[in-house]
Amino acid sequence: MTSAGDTSFIGVPAARRILLGLVGSLAVALTVSGCVGSSNAPSPARTPDPVKKSAAQVPPSGPVSLAKFYTQDLAWSECGQNQCARLTVPIDYAHPDRGTIRLSVLKVRSTDPGKRIGSLVVNPGGPGGSGVFYAAGADFTEPVQAAYDIVGFDPRGVGTSAPVKCLDDRELDSLLGGDPTPDSKAEQEKVAAVAKAFADKCKAEGGRLLGHVSTIEAAKDMDVLRAALSETKLDYLGKSYGTFLGATYADLFPGKVGRFVLDGVIDPNLTSSQVNEGQAVGFETATRAYVQDCVAKGNCPLGGSVEAGMARLRAFLKQVDARPLPLKDPYVKGLTEGWASLGIAGPMYDQSRWPDLTDALRGAFAGSGDPLMRLALDYAERTTAGGYVTNLMQVIYAVNCLDRADVKGLDHYESQARSLTVKAPTWGPFLAWSTVPCGYWPVPANNAPKKITAAGSGPIVLVGTTRDPATPYKWAQGLAAELENAHLITYNGDGHTAYMRSNSCVDGAVDEFLVRGVVPPPGLRC
């Protein structure tokens, strides 16, 4: 589990958590909390402002040879109740004449053309989440659905957009089920060997595109998409890793930023190690909140206190590391520490699934690993029949390793594991070792941590959740302090991301901004 926008592998399913909660209809109705703050006066109503496609659409710093991409027309066709198209982009923006790929795009048309003000491009996270699936299945409020065509796209290398795949299903089973917290030099060397073998396989299978699936390149694709949609500015909703993509776009094209909402914020000014630390502490905090809830409800299989429950979880993970629990899965021999960790991590993204985790742990403590394995498979986007639904669990490495360089050498990871164990005893070692593949990645990173100001941009609304496991609240505070035109909404709650999940205060403030251009009041807390 790694990241550079969910930079550790535990942040991998940020996209999946959102896809499950919003698209898969697995989330249940949650209690709505209140908010503090007052509303601002609305800005004047905006009308659609289509642009004439021309070479002038090409960014001033871009080569003239990009003109053919910026002036392309999308050939929409009906796909179910929606419309689908393919967007052509260069593999390499530095050499746009050396090959192209086509990105899948889906449009959910405005429910009221008379109220339509433009296109809202969406990204659910990951990296590796399908914007096509998200746009097709996500629920938005009636005002947003009327105001916008909701447009999702699969970023390069993802889903149905020239997907990056290095391993077959059984090889990926082995990777995900491997030892995430090596306890000896021999185990550490095995982890390194597995990581290097994976990186070598990606080098052999990934082709030229493997070196061109970074967030910078995906952001450039979004600007081509903006032009193809005939929009002068990009209106955008990004969740989790989608905030990293959105912030990168704002850095590259501040003058093209329309109404931007970034929910579950990743601060681009963080190293890989800093992201690992943030997520280790974030998951520790979220897991403690889960255990506290379990204890408060009574008959908790973890014990009668938070400290006892956390200790019980750690003891269980050590137990399955030594003796995996038997499974009915024909392709996986047992519930290992790797699979068990994924099964526990998944419900941290959505507190409505905490009861499922409690039931699964009760079964595991009684010797049955199957319920917890089902949560792990859900997290990994794998079916009980043995196939992976998407390539998320592979392409996340390809994107993250290009976005943030990592250190090669076991001493670095061992040292980080010791440090993070102090700060996050349950999740620290797991996160410390999560980015090892990037230390062996065959393509050097093309990005580095940086403060993004997006000087001259339109308003950018950030949403931060106080007990978010994968994107800690302090990351939202960090990016809010860096951006020139940021407006932070704070949600005091659990789970990963906040908009359209559980809180009418957050939903109302975001909708006011997207539909009417009203920025949230300073210091809004929900």
Reported confidence tier of residue 409, pLDDT bands at 50, 70, 90 = confident
pLDDT, residue 62, reads: 60
Q: What is the dihedral of CA 455, 459, 465, 471, to 10 degrees?
A: -40
Q: How confident is the model over 20-32, as a mean pLDDT?
A: 23
SS3 330: coil
* Mean predicted confidence (pLDDT) in 127-143: 92
Residue 116: both structure tokens together:
């339509």
Q: Is-catalytic flag, 496?
A: yes
Select from 279, 212, 221 the least CA-distant residue to 253.
221
Strands 148-153 and 100-108: antiparallel
In the set 321, 329, 468, 511, the catalytic residue is: 468
pLDDT at 343 over 90: yes
Is it the case that residue 182 has pLDDT exceeding 70?
yes
| Residues sharing a CB contact under 8 Å with residue 47, sequence separation 6 or more, in sequence order | 117
pLDDT at 61: 59
pLDDT band at 32 (very low <50, low <70, confident <90, very high): very low
Query: For residue 328, what pLDDT is reported?
Result: 95
Token pair listed for 63 = 């080569």
Q: Are 457 and 313 in contact (CB under 8 A)?
A: no
Listing DSSP states for 250-305 in one string gives HHH-GGGEEEEEEES---SS--HHHHHHHHHHHHHHHHHHHHHHHHHHS--TT-SS
Catalytic site residue 161?
A: no
Rounded average pLDDT over 419-429:
97
pTM of this prediction? 0.90
pLDDT computed for residue 408 by the predictor: 74
Per-residue pLDDT tens digits for 192-232: 999 999 999 999 999 999 999 999 999 999 999 999 999 99
Above 50 in pLDDT, residue 39? no
- Residue 349 in this model has a pLDDT that exceeds 80: yes
Q: What is the structure's pLDDT at 502?
A: 75
240, 272, 273, 502: which one is catalytic?
240
pLDDT tens, position by position, 68-104: 999 999 999 999 999 999 999 999 999 999 999 999 9
Written as one string, the DSSP assignment of 139-186 is ---HHHHHHEEEEEE--TTSTTSS----S-HHHHHHHHTS-SS--SHH
**pLDDT greater at residue 30 or residue 327:** 327
Arithmetic mean of pLDDT, 155-176: 96
pLDDT at position 248 is 97
Taking the mean position of all CA atoms in its chain, how far away is CA 89?
A: 23
**Is residue 65 pLDDT above 90, yes or no?**
no
Distance of CA 439 to the CA centre of its chain: 21
Give buried/exposed letters for 459-490 (b at 16+ CB in 10 A, else e).
Answer: bbbbbbbbbbbbbbbebbbbbbebbebbbbbb
Domain ranges of the chain: 31-135+149-157+213-270+449-516, 169-208+271-440
Instruction: Name the pLDDT band for 485 (thresholds 50, 70, 90).
Output: very high
pLDDT at site 11: 34
Question: What is the spatial distance between Cα 34 and Cα 507, in angstroms, rounded to a whole number?
Answer: 11
Q: What is the pLDDT of residue 447?
A: 87
Which of 212, 251, 321, 496 is labelled catalytic? 496
Confidence (pLDDT) at 40? 41
At 46, the pLDDT band (50, 70, 90 cuts) reads low
DSSP-assigned letters across all residues of 29-48: --PPP--B--PPPPPPPP--
| Region of poorest pLDDT, from 4-18, 126-140, 307-321, 401-415 | 4-18
Can 119 be counted among the known catalytic residues?
Answer: no
CB-neighbour burial class of residue 379 (10 A; exposed 0-12, middle 13-18, buried 19+): buried
Please say if the pLDDT value at position 413 is more than 60.
yes
Give backbone dihedrals phi and psi of 319, rounded to 5 degrees, phi first: -65, -45
pLDDT mean over 46-59 = 51
Mean per-residue pLDDT over the chain, rounded: 89
| CATH code that applies to domain 31-135+149-157+213-270+449-516 | 3.40.50.1820
Predicted confidence at residue 126, as pLDDT, reads 92
Query: Which of the pair, 293 or 61, is modelled with greater confidence?
Result: 293
pLDDT at 59: 67
